[in-house]
Amino acid sequence: MHFKKVLILLFISISAFAQLEKPTTWKYKVLQDKVVVGDVVDVEFTATIQKDWYLYSSDFSPELGPTVTEFVFNKSKGFRSIGKIKPIHPKKKFDEVWGGDVTYFKETGKFVQKVMILEANPTISGKIIYQTCTDIDGKCVPGNEVFNIKTSTVLANKIEQSSDTLTNPKDESAIELNEKEPTKTITKEPMKEAQSLWQFLLIAFGAGLASIFMPCIYPIMPMTVSFFTKQANGKSKAIFYGISIMAIFGVMGLITMAFGAPFLNFLSTHWLPNLIFFVIFILFGVSLLGAFEIVLPHETVNKIDRLSDKGGLIGIFFMALTLVVVSFSCTVPFVGSLLIAAAQGEVTRPIYGMLAFGLPFALVFSGLAMFPQMLKNLPKSGGWLNELKAVFGFLEFALALKFLSNIDLAYHWNLIHRNVFLVIWIVIAFIIGIYILGFIRLSKDDKIEKRGALRIFFSVIFLGLAAYMLPGVTGKSLSLLSGILPPMPISTQSTTTSDLPTDKMRALPHELFGFYDFDDAQVYAKEINKPILIDFTGYACANCRKMEENVWSKPEVLKRLKEDFVIASLYVDDKKELPKEKQYTSTYDNELKTTVGDKNMDLEITKYNNNAQPYYIIVHPNGEKLLEPLGYSSEADFIKFLDKGKAGFK
């Protein structure tokens, strides 16, 4: 094993001299603007790593084999390093070559070292020893970076203190204690992400199940079942048929996923795709109400149908494809809506969502083919299918409004405020309720002679929903819809009756206030000596609204937010333009940041290695993180988080 490691290290050395390459570049700075002799400052080292390369971190055993990133500080009377260098959220994996766990960075790596300033205007100097590797061709490049960081002090001394106090600080152990934080391999909260993904998959499954009962799918089930019952090995072929349907829908999701996260993020936040989605949902709704049908060209349908006549598994696959194509006019509103919803989440959601959408098709068609006697228990097709289709059409109108509301919130148009949104939804829910009862009829609907129990049950659900939303118009909180509705109207009384810098602040729910900009929050927090609660949020963030309405509103939480913290409420989708002099190019993606939202998202990614919302971070006024961040959470967990942050500040 040792001989193997020697060979690998020899190969690394040869590779380094074969050609001059520098896949990693460094930048370094002191994070604090005002430095006073006696202060402990944070020196940040940022590594920018080329695509397909990775940089080894500093927090695993150098005996393992790879070159662990090492920071060597020169001896000086002007400064003194405190504790060990701290890597910020490196990734972790088991390396089969070295036979152990290694930590590493891709694209961007950050390290922070605490340094005590002992004299005025010192130059913090030293060198970085590191190694960058790539899996493309197995190449590794060792590196040495010399750094010289100039500092300027405001005062010669913070307070009168002896040189012994400066060189032997009493609080050094406390400073080192803060460094002992474990490597964080996952920056998001896995349980919360998993829950939201499961919710999305359940919605996708429900949409697929609802599609089966559309007029262009439901009536052909008996014919499909009859085909397999007459075949040899019919049950196994039926299972393959179901899997093929699921796979075809999965390919649709795969195509959407191929565009990648940046494109999906553009779809979820920019005004243009949201406006297009609004129009698409309106068209889907009109189509489901029977005004027209969205169909594929007949030539395409006929060609695929002919291919399904082939024998064997290939013929069954094309038979499944024929079902998907023939049912296009009924499924496209569901598929389109689902893919648009998937674009609002993680990059992998489209394929997961479409597989979940296709699963009911596979289960129902395969199940009925294996147990054909179940067909007798299904209701006969008829006018109720058109009514179900119309109900989904009305629901498409309601969902369309959500996308228009996203644009309105992000660009501060203030056209679709909460009450307008609620009134439209109340009207839609009421119309659906009386439509199900038969008081409204469309051209293709049959006249209702008798209102059965099931019809009354579903009408009561929609009429009850309308009644539930009605008090919301008067300002009552609607917790069931808190992640969907626009934010509640916000009172500005708490900010106008104080001497707070109102031009730099935004009104928040529950008579709270928060700063638009983190730097302004820092200045104010230093003045009043309180920790800062950074609230990374978004206008189009459903879970952010849920947190504000269901957790922040609780008396125990609200009391802490008002009394113990300065809030920096940073919207990552705020489209307000930054002044030209404040626009900058990010070190993370080398792109120009031109809006307030761009700046806030860049801050969340570069400083806290996260891009999801809601995301809460409690920091000292000097910018030091006091505890691990928190995402979407319960009231109890959020209170513990706030209390721990307050205790850490003291």
In the chain, how many domains are there?
A: 3
Residue 519 and residue 643 in one domain: yes
How far from 312 is each of 76, 322, 403, CA to CA, in Å?
80, 15, 45
Residue 439 placed within a domain: no
* Final residue of a structural domain among 379, 400, 430: 379
Output phi, psi for 294, to 5 deg.
Answer: -95, 110
% of the chain residues with pLDDT over 70 = 66
Residue 95 and residue 213 in one domain: no
pLDDT tens sequence across 317-375: 776 776 665 555 455 555 655 565 555 555 567 777 788 888 888 888 777 777 766 66
Residue 462 placed within a domain: no
Query: Alpha helix locations (H) across 470-570?
Result: 493-496, 518-528, 542-550, 555-564
First to last CA, the chain: 51
pTM above the 0.85 mark? no
Rg (alpha carbons) of the chain, rounded to whole number: 30
The conformation of residue 161, written as its DSSP 8-state character, comes to -
Which has more pLDDT, 378 or 525? Answer: 525
Residue 536 and residue 593 in one domain: yes
Residue 516 placed within a domain: yes
Number of Cβ within 10 Å of residue 254's Cβ equals: 15
**For position 342, what pLDDT does the model report?**
52
**For position 346, what pLDDT does the model report?**
53
Query: Is-contact 49 109, C-beta < 8 A?
Result: yes
Task: Judge residue 292's burial from the number of C-beta atoms within 10 Å of its C-beta, 0-12 exposed, 13-18 middle, 19 or more buried.
Answer: exposed
| CA nearest neighbour of 329 among 389, 254, 259 | 389
Q: For residue 112, how many C-alpha atoms fall within 13 Å in the half-sphere facing its CB?
A: 21
Q: What is the largest CA-CA distance in the chain?
A: 97
Q: What is the arithmetic mean of pLDDT over 210-217?
A: 65
| CA nearest neighbour of 443 among 496, 386, 399, 509 | 386
Query: 311 by DSSP, 3-state: which?
Result: coil
**For position 529, what pLDDT does the model report?**
92
Residue 230 and residue 132 in one domain: no
Residue 128 and residue 223 in one domain: no
Number of Cβ within 10 Å of residue 412's Cβ equals: 10
Q: Among positive and negative, which fits the CA dihedral 67, 71, 75, 81?
A: negative
In CATH, what number is assigned to the domain containing residue 53? 2.60.40.1250
Q: Scan for tokens 């006969």, then name that residue.
A: 380
Query: 100 by DSSP, 3-state: which?
Result: strand
pLDDT tens sequence across 272-287: 777 887 887 788 778 7
Query: Is-contact 532 618, C-beta < 8 A?
Result: yes
Q: What own/partner pairs with CB < 8 Å and gap ≥ 24 does 274-278 have?
A: 274/403, 274/404, 274/406, 274/407, 275/403, 275/404, 275/407, 277/340, 277/400, 277/403, 278/400, 278/401, 278/403, 278/404, 278/407
How far from 77 is each of 163, 237, 552, CA to CA, in Å?
11, 81, 49
**Dist CA 28 CA 623 (whole Å):** 17
Residue 369 and residue 311 in one domain: yes
* Final residue of a structural domain among 155, 186, 208: 155
Weakest-pLDDT range from 81-95, 222-236, 405-419, 609-623: 222-236
How far from 617 is each of 34, 127, 626, 638, CA to CA, in Å?
23, 32, 8, 11
| CA nearest neighbour of 626 among 644, 639, 638 | 644
* Final residue of a structural domain among 314, 349, 379: 379
| Residues facing 91 on adjacent strands | 104
pLDDT tens sequence across 158-197: 433 433 444 444 444 434 434 443 333 333 333 344 345 6
For residue 538, the one-letter residue type is G
Residue 409 placed within a domain: no
Query: 461 by DSSP, 3-state: which?
Result: helix
Number of Cβ within 10 Å of residue 146's Cβ equals: 11
Query: Is-contact 337 278, C-beta < 8 A?
Result: no
**Dist CA 489 CA 591 (whole Å):** 35
Which has more pLDDT, 416 or 491? Answer: 416
pLDDT tens sequence across 288-322: 787 766 554 556 555 545 554 455 566 677 767 76
Structural domain containing residue 529: 493-649
Residue 166 placed within a domain: no
**Dist CA 196 CA 483 (whole Å):** 12
Query: Is-contact 114 81, C-beta < 8 A?
Result: yes
Q: What is the arithmetic mean of pLDDT over 43-71?
A: 85
Query: Is-contact 116 82, C-beta < 8 A?
Result: yes
